[in-house]
Amino acid sequence: MKILVCISSVPDTTAKINFTADKSAFDKNGIQWVINPLDEFALTKAINLQNSLGATVSVINVGGAETESVIRKCLAIGANDAVRVNIEPGDSLSAAKGIAKVAQDGGYDLILAGRESIDYNGGAVPGMVAQLLNQPFVNACVGLEIKDGAATAVREIEGGKETISVKLPAVIAGQKGIVEEKDLIIPNMRGIMSARTKPLQVVEPSTTEVKVEAVSFDSAPPRAAVKLVAQDNLDELVKLLHEEAKVI
């Protein structure tokens, strides 16, 4: 069984987000880059399937050479090999096309990804990959079992959960719950050393077409100062909620 895990390189969740002076792009200076957290859940699930089913796990990233440190961490976690599509993705579709071309050529049985990346929160790439490959797609997956050439996936829906069975090959977009946070794999020294020698193939994109362009970015407005109200001053609290917060 061959599994392909889609990996995004994103700013660390503690990083301070700034934009260039003309607000046309994200300012990357001084940013620490990490594996997209939701992709890390998907990768851990893939490694679990590697251990239980003898699967081969590959990771794929669409990005420039600066993403290779994040890719190597994925290899240290346990992936067998990696592919980097050598293009800075301009939109979700350009990223999806890069992934789909590699997936099609590689003949993978299962494609795993995080539901969305935490930088742009588009949540579009996994579904686009499935459409390009004409494969079944399950989103917001919080449970996954593979047996007899089929995937049984549990996904979150409004008010509950839904269990779906799909034939492989398929695309699954996971989130926290597909594995628990406590089960995420931390690379050990042996994994870090072996990652240096694992194959990392760089391929050129099949297309560089971009259909969506970000015109400008704006930072979120600063939070207003907090007003403290004495615990026994209910009249003042109600007044503030009504006249200033306008929530009642």
Domain range enclosing 195: 2-219
DSSP state of 61: E
pLDDT of residue 231: 87
Tokens matching residue 93: 């579709």
pLDDT of residue 214: 82
Q: What is the mean pLDDT of residues 200-206?
A: 94
Q: What is the CATH number of the domain that holds 34?
A: 3.40.50.620
| SS3 (DSSP) at 231 | coil
Round the average pLDDT of the chain to a whole number and report it. 93
pLDDT of residue 2: 97
User: What SS3 string covers 136-153?
Assistant: CEEEEEEEEEEECCEEEE
Q: What is the pLDDT of residues 1-26, one digit of tens each?
A: 999 999 999 999 888 888 888 888 88
Q: Left (φ > 0), alpha (ψ -120 to 50) or beta: where does 30 sit?
A: left
DSSP state of 26: B
pLDDT of residue 9: 95
Quick check: is 226 in a domain?
no
Q: What is the pLDDT of residues 41-61, one digit of tens each?
A: 999 999 999 999 999 999 999
Tokens matching residue 199: 């194959």
- Specify the number of domains making up the chain: 1
Residues 136, 171 contacting (CB under 8 angstroms) = yes
Quick check: is 227 in a domain?
no
Quick check: is 231 in a domain?
no
Is residue 27's pLDDT more than 80?
yes
Is residue 171's pLDDT more than 90?
yes
Distance, in Å, from the CA atom of 132 to the CA atom of 105, rounded to the nearest integer, reads: 13
Quick check: is 133 in a domain?
yes
7-145-83 Cα angle (round to 5) = 25
Q: What percent of the chain has pLDDT over 90?
A: 70
Q: What is the pLDDT of residues 73-109, one digit of tens each?
A: 999 999 999 999 999 888 999 999 999 999 999 999 9
Quick check: is 169 in a domain?
yes
Residues 84, 203 contacting (CB under 8 angstroms) = yes
| N- to C-terminal Cα separation, the chain | 57
pLDDT of residue 22: 86
Of 161 and 220, the structure prediction assigns the larger pLDDT to 161
pLDDT band at 66 (very low <50, low <70, confident <90, very high): very high
Quick check: is 245 in a domain?
no
Quick check: is 246 in a domain?
no
Q: What is the mean pLDDT of residues 21-42?
A: 90
Quick check: is 125 in a domain?
yes
